[in-house]
Amino acid sequence: MSDIEIAQQAKMQPIIGLAHQHYGIAAEHLDPIGHYKAKISLEYINSLTDRTDGKLILVTAISPTPAGEGKTTTTVGLGDAMNRIGKKTIMCLREPSLGPCFGVKGGAAGGGYAQVVPMEDINLHFTGDFHAIGVAHNLLSALIDNHINHGNALDIDPRRIQWKRVVDMNDRALRHIVVGMGGAANGYLREDGYDIVVASEVMAILCLATSRADLKARLGRIVIGYKSDRTTPVYARDLKAHGAMAALLKDAIKPNLVQTLENNIAIIHGGPFANIAHGCNTVTATKTALKLADYVVTEAGFGADLGAEKFIDIKCRMSGLKPAAVVLVATVRALKFHGGVAKDALNQENLIALQQGFANLARHYHNITQHYGLPCVVCINHFTFDTEAEIALLQNQCAALGAACVVSKHWAEGGAGAESLAVAITEIVDNREPAFTFVYDADLGLWEKIEAIATKLYGAANVTANAKVKAQLAAWQADYGTFPICMAKTQMSFSTNPNSKGAPSGHTVEISDVRLANGAGFIVAIAGDMMTMPGLPKVPAAERIDIDDDGRITGLF
């Protein structure tokens, strides 16, 4: 059965009743969105302040491959398993983006028997958060061009506007456009472009904001570009945009409750790109879950070099969150890919490639335990084609590394298949208080922070940048020197070359550009190409997505 067929057979329970039964949340604190989704009121969340926090478990992965690793699936499977063994656990996930849904990827709500439901709703519009973010973003865009059109009193340099427009769609034709054509009535001609909504700074801001007031202040701090002196920033608050933007986000700021196939509570809220943003769900959602449950399982985007690093150095640093342990997800298939096997040969046993590809896992494990200071369990997300010899080899290699390693079958068996993983991870978090550390101190210079990430985590020998980039960082040092770095690097490799598999070392990381995300509160350092607007493939998933006369949807994976 496909994911959507499994999801459509789920026996969902009305979410209001479920939230009350599991966590004692009264109906008045929830805004229902249909019968199986609900938003939690901020007033209720604020009322939980005095409660003790649960334990936070981060699910991350080896460097992604086309083979798929199953981070979301593992997060859901582990959460279901923990609830099965009597540990009250909430899962915190990211909202899927519509764009990839119509491209290659299909849905993004877990897979097999480890899914969140209602799957179609979660993949299509969900509770409207991304639409609200998109409109808030585009309102600021419209206000910028409107301000210039009506006399440009702020002296915005139209050539130095860095605030693009957004749409929740994979649409390569919009990457680079010219706006304002057609004469005086349509304003001034200038170059512009579109990003996908998940790449919006508004998304990053929503995910890091701690209150309505903080949200509005951050929106006001967004730097949209520079004045004609080339250096004086123009803020969203100069355009009086932040109040209306915050009003548009009045509901988007509230976390969303849904359930897993096994009727356990999951919170799905926020979904920033793990590229130019931190790639984690909202701080509000994670903190709320920690107040409600004894354990919270959450995920971070891409591999542990990107998503987990930002989870630690950006999300945890800004919010005071402290993870208790990490699950590092790997598959036999993906490790063979890292060992040089082509995509169409991954289902054949190949012990040599597996052994070679293991270097990728080993580097991530080393980073998590040594540089983040966190206990780590390796989860082998089991695939049908995995052979016994492969599993045994992988377990031996983990043992040689000193790593706990659990084979988990949640995709095929749901929570029951992940009980060993749940036992392993709860044993750690119930008994250890980790000496959690950041990769760099906030006081370190901006350039030195980039060097710390690249040399410690990526295995790079050195970091380079042209004079312009170095001058820009130096110029920002005074005002923004304490900001963390948000690295934008290919997720496919520890290096900046996506084809460099395994665990490359001694390479050079070149920083091609840096950007100030002043509202989010970090500096984006771009290493290599960064794609903030994907394209559709030759045969997009959209072609097979359909709905019948009764409203039943097919073709979403």
Q: Is 69 annotated as a binding residue?
A: yes
Q: Compute CA distances 96 → 33, 106, 195, 354, 541, whole Å.
A: 17, 10, 16, 31, 15
Given its phi and psi angles, is residue 266 left (phi above 0), alpha (psi -120 to 50 degrees) or beta? beta
Q: Compute CA distances 481 → 208, 220, 445, whole Å.
A: 19, 20, 6
Which residue number, 80 or 145, has a Cβ lying nearer to a second copy?
145
Which residue number, 427 or 513, has a Cβ lying nearer to a second copy?
513
Catalytically annotated residue among 199, 274, 460, 527 = 274
Q: Is 68 annotated as a binding residue?
A: yes
Q: Which segments within 228-264 are labelled E, that is strand?
A: 233-235, 256-260
Q: How far is the CB of 178 from a second copy (least distance, A)?
A: 4
Which residue number, 174 or 517, has a Cβ lying nearer to a second copy?
174
Q: Is 65 annotated as a binding residue?
A: yes
Widest pairwise Cα distance in the chain: 72
Active site residue 503: no
Active site residue 489: no
SS3 assignment, position 438 = coil
SS3 assignment, position 531 = coil
Q: Is 349 annotated as a binding residue?
A: no
Catalytically annotated residue among 73, 89, 260, 369 = 73
Contact criterion met (CB below 8 Å) for 271 and 96: yes
Residue 495's nearest CA partner among 529, 460, 453 is 460
Active site residue 291: no
Active site residue 274: yes
- CA-to-CA distance for 358 and 368, rounded, in angstroms? 16
Which residue number, 2 or 420, has a Cβ lying nearer to a second copy?
2
Active site residue 383: yes
Catalytically annotated residue among 37, 39, 87, 94 = 94
> 419-431 and 71-84 are packed helices; what angle lies between their axes, rounded to 10 degrees?
80
Which residue number, 11 or 150, has a Cβ lying nearer to a second copy?
150
Catalytically annotated residue among 163, 337, 411, 438 = 411
Q: How far is the CB of 546 from a second copy (least distance, A)?
A: 3
- CA-to-CA distance for 378 and 391, rounded, in angstroms? 12
User: How are beta strands 462-465 and 508-517 bridged, if at all?
Assistant: parallel
Q: Is 71 annotated as a binding residue?
A: yes
Q: How far is the CB of 110 from a second copy (least distance, A)?
A: 20
Q: How far is the CB of 533 from a second copy (least distance, A)?
A: 9
If DSSP states are collapsed to H, E and C, what string results for 80-112? HHHHHCCCCEEEEECCCCHHHHCCCCCCCCEEC
Q: Is 70 annotated as a binding residue?
A: yes
Q: Is 67 annotated as a binding residue?
A: yes
Active site residue 468: no
Which residue number, 282 or 408, has a Cβ lying nearer to a second copy?
282
Q: How far is the CB of 545 from a second copy (least distance, A)?
A: 4
Active site residue 436: no
Q: Is 478 annotated as a binding residue?
A: no
Active site residue 39: no
- CA-to-CA distance for 331 and 335, rounded, in angstroms? 6
Neighbours of 525 (CB within 10 A): 27
Q: Which residues are catalytic?
A: 71, 73, 94, 105, 274, 302, 383, 411
Q: Tell me the binding residues for ATP.
A: 65-72
Q: Tell me the binding residues.
A: 65-72
